Structure 1
């Protein structure tokens, strides 16, 4: 076997519910990763299973430096190296093998169609192989006839029974040998896997190799098969002869192997082929129907509004029909696979142009506005009289701020904001909570046409490289404001995309002179080849230097060997306390429960019952040319009517305009000037915050 790497790795198994030692051999030429229970078993040829690498995708965990996955044939295999360096060596070798076979596939696509002479040559080769097989079978017969006593005959016949079948065997042999003449002798890794899987001590040369391949069991629907064979050939009474000589999938010869079946929304229990990049998108077999969006009811259509503002002044874009956004990427998998072949694990995706069809119909700046989908919870922070209650309310608002950001059951990527792009909106709180005087417009605020009792919001893309967004919100009547900046750093993780949200936010209760500094979790787009979904992960903190209260919040990513999605845990501490007075756990897009030191247990937040107050955005004709919806209107419209080509063209025009402006600034040696925010140390601060305006009024 032409291996380029071999050594020990741990492999996750279901039977033991843990990691099991295995000896792995990477066959560079065949595109196979074979594994054995030990190095000794490898020397004896007793293979436990193998993973095909053609069309495979390697994945890594951003929070674990020793594990990695290989996804192929709708199965995910999990491996663990000794340390980060060892994992890097394996990943480098595996990526090289995958790339080699991807290039071979492309060369095959562009190869010249074989001529009649080529066909005749292959036919002659096949005929020669067939003659060799027939001669060997005759030798078998003669040897059996030469056996005088019953004991010799029995010991000779038993190993041969598995291959000595009169007429059916001849047909199988002809079929197996004739196959290369129809496919120009393919060297697919799966065929090599089957041909070499079942070794024998008999000096039979190519005959035993072919016969052994005919005996190999086909893996079942979960990717597991019968136990690994010994070096002797199985007798026909215990042998399960498959219908096809060549397996279609990576396999394991034991039933203790684990695959992430939950990551694939399959409509049946039977295994499906991972769509090959060489195939035409959208063409599927009857048993391989495209994945469909799960039936879910989103709470995002619910709204609360006081009805005091004429609805005609505002854009109804927020009430968009998302029915068409839930389909999987199955029909575009060839594009996704091509994209994956261009990037490497851990690669920064900031400068990678992603395909248009995965875009959500709004800008990232607008997505940040969803932090205030519950503005009533935000302003209620300032209504608490006790610093302890204010910290609890900050945590409650913070934990409620993430679920509204998902506009559908399938993850999509918002538009990357253009440098200088801005987004304005506001929320009108329920009228019964507002005082009559708070209905006056705020001409000096970020959104001059909203009232003092409203929560106004503004965001700006203040930097393009690195991509940094700054946003600000305030409510004058409650004397509360929020300022934040986030630098999004994307990383390719194989089957996932990780987005590190670097930056911080600050909630300021101006009447109490309190400032709550908070950080943001990382985001992960999982299962990017099937039905993408989003999860949050990482440790976040909230702290107030004046009161001394703090909170630690952990967004737990789903472990591959069990556990729930979207879990969070939080601990809230008093000043100088080492033990928390409140513990929170649950799901950030579901119900979260609080446990208090008094022994009381209560529902902390139930996001399913929280009514989302819809933001109000000016109609397109009233917006400035650099406002988000105005900038992206052509892309949004074409995505809505599913004209992907037109959407891509509109997106390209925007990006080219941005590049041209950047070149012009470079030639003129002019620095970009932000519109509404300025840099203050490592932070980006709104130019005219409520705190600054209140101070100026006092003087």
Structure 2
């Protein structure tokens, strides 16, 4: 049985926007630092690990974003980084993200499918799919997965858990990061929201490893050769001085843009007019059902606008897509800096 949440359990934002913000909302541009020509392969890999940690932002306890509708899009630019997302499948729900930064030689593909499992007092969300980051000038491709999300009801909490693996075939470096959280009873300790792990070559001994027990407000790396410790991720730098995206070119915004699709629902939530929000949410859902019914009557199959199913998917990656365009164009919505 599928349960529809009332708007009082939503915060006024689509999950598509929440995914995109992980990439383009940052006070410090650590993504472009990954492609620096002033560092060696190990340092670049270490920076990519720090960037991957920055993707896992804390959730809002007790509230969830809207479930994206089929064909919904989100297109935002931040500095020279252009990010575009599309909900490419509804059943199962699959989101595709493509981001490019021509100035810094960055190309990112991200495909994911959340699979929730109810476990009594909590919901375990397995985030299937993978993230691929290419540093074009260095000819390096980094592949990583996402940690899982645990949503607890007693006590209320949203946590990232599980193991993330990062690998770069061209340099031979790999990383294994283990995300852990507080105890069942919510006791605060040094292990709350922590990440531990190591960076290593596939054959020689480890080169460096994150210090055990790090709370990922800051994550340090320790050089096993006696070089000491240093910070590779600082949440305060990433999350401070954030600015809300602004609409630069209203005429270029697509009707499928997340903010437009859910605009009336968001207005109802922000004004605490729950009846208005409820009706607006129902209207969005009914429109999707009507469109699906019309496609079936015409014998049409849904085709994404910006992505196409990849022949490289296979059984391990059945939800992998390829972007139709090589570069993501500048967006009508921009993040000021």
Instruction: Provide TM-score, normalisation by structure 1.
Output: 0.43
Task: Confirm or deny that 1:361 pairs with 2:1.
Answer: no
Query: 2: distance between equivalents of 1:609 and 1:572?
Result: 23
Map of 1:614 onto structure 2: 243
Instruction: Say whether the 8 Å CA contact 2:265–2:278 is kept in structure 1.
Output: yes
Map of 2:52 onto structure 1: 398
Given candidates 141, 164, 174, the residue that maps to 1:550 is: 174
**Cα offset for 1:592?**
1.7
**Cα offset for 1:371?**
2.0
Instruction: Say whether the 8 Å CA contact 1:427–1:613 is kept in structure 2.
Output: no
**For residues 386-441 of structure 1, what are the alpha-carbon distances to aligned partners after superposition, in whole Å with 9 as ceiling and x for unaligned?**
111110010011112223x64x5x3421110010000011112xxxxxxxxxxxxx
**Cα offset for 1:578?**
4.4
Instruction: Say whether the 8 Å CA contact 1:359–1:412 is kept in structure 2.
Output: yes
Given candidates 426, 432, 438, the residue that maps to 2:77 is: 426
Query: 1: distance between equivalents of 2:243 and 2:324?
Result: 26
Task: Confirm or deny that 1:560 pairs with 2:168.
Answer: no
Task: Confirm or deny that 1:684 pairs with 2:335.
Answer: no
1:473 partner SS:
strand
Map of 1:650 onto structure 2: 280
Given candidates 86, 90, 96, the residue that maps to 1:464 is: 90
Task: Confirm or deny that 1:383 pairs with 2:36.
Answer: yes
Query: 2: distance between equivalents of 1:419 and 1:617?
Result: 25
Instruction: Write 1 or 2 for the structure with the bigger share of strand.
Output: 2
**For residues 55-82 of structure 1, what are the alpha-carbon distances to aligned partners after superposition, in whole Å with 9 as ceiling and x for unaligned?**
xxxxxxxxxxxxxxxxxxxxxxxxxxxx
**Cα offset for 1:533?**
2.4
Matches within 5 A, 1:2-401: 351-372=2-23, 373-374=25-26, 376-384=29-37, 385-401=39-55
Given candidates 477, 482, 491, the residue that maps to 2:117 is: 491
2:203 partner SS:
coil
**Cα offset for 1:580?**
4.7
Given candidates 165, 174, 193, the residue that maps to 1:541 is: 165
Aligned residues, how many?
A: 311
Given candidates 229, 241, 264, the residue that maps to 1:634 is: 264
Map of 2:81 onto structure 1: 455
**For residues 661-684 of structure 1, what are the alpha-carbon distances to aligned partners after superposition, in whole Å with 9 as ceiling and x for unaligned?**
111212222100101111102311
Instruction: Write 1 or 2 for the structure with the bigger share of helix.
Output: 1
Map of 1:675 onto structure 2: 305
**Cα offset for 1:490?**
1.5
Map of 2:333 onto structure 1: none
Query: 2: distance between equivalents of 1:512 and 1:615?
Result: 32
Task: Note closer, same or farther for the CA distance 1:674–1:549 as it changes in structure 2 (3 Å cut).
Answer: same
1:594 partner SS:
strand
The unaligned stretches of length 5 or more in structure 1 are 1-342, 344-350, 429-453, 692-699
Instruction: Say whether the 8 Å CA contact 1:461–1:468 is kept in structure 2.
Output: yes
Instruction: Say whether the 8 Å CA contact 2:12–2:266 is kept in structure 1.
Output: yes
**For residues 210-267 of structure 1, what are the alpha-carbon distances to aligned partners after superposition, in whole Å with 9 as ceiling and x for unaligned?**
xxxxxxxxxxxxxxxxxxxxxxxxxxxxxxxxxxxxxxxxxxxxxxxxxxxxxxxxxx
Task: Note closer, same or farther for the CA distance 1:671–1:660 as it changes in structure 2 (3 Å cut).
Answer: same
Alpha-carbon RMSD: 2.1
Task: Note closer, same or farther for the CA distance 1:359–1:620 as it changes in structure 2 (3 Å cut).
Answer: farther
Query: 1: distance between equivalents of 2:4 and 2:266?
Result: 17
The unaligned stretches of length 5 or more in structure 2 are 329-337
Query: 2: distance between equivalents of 1:668 and 1:578?
Result: 60
Query: 2: distance between equivalents of 1:660 and 1:394?
Result: 44
Query: 2: distance between equivalents of 1:390 and 1:497?
Result: 35
Map of 1:598 onto structure 2: 225
Instruction: Say whether the 8 Å CA contact 2:51–2:233 is kept in structure 1.
Output: no
Matches within 5 A, 1:504-583: 504-527=130-153, 532-560=156-184, 563=189, 564-583=191-210
Task: Note closer, same or farther for the CA distance 1:569–1:674 as it changes in structure 2 (3 Å cut).
Answer: same
Instruction: Say whether the 8 Å CA contact 1:485–1:503 is kept in structure 2.
Output: yes
Instruction: Say whether the 8 Å CA contact 1:424–1:617 is kept in structure 2.
Output: no
Query: 1: distance between equivalents of 2:138 and 2:220?
Result: 28
**Cα offset for 1:620?**
9.1
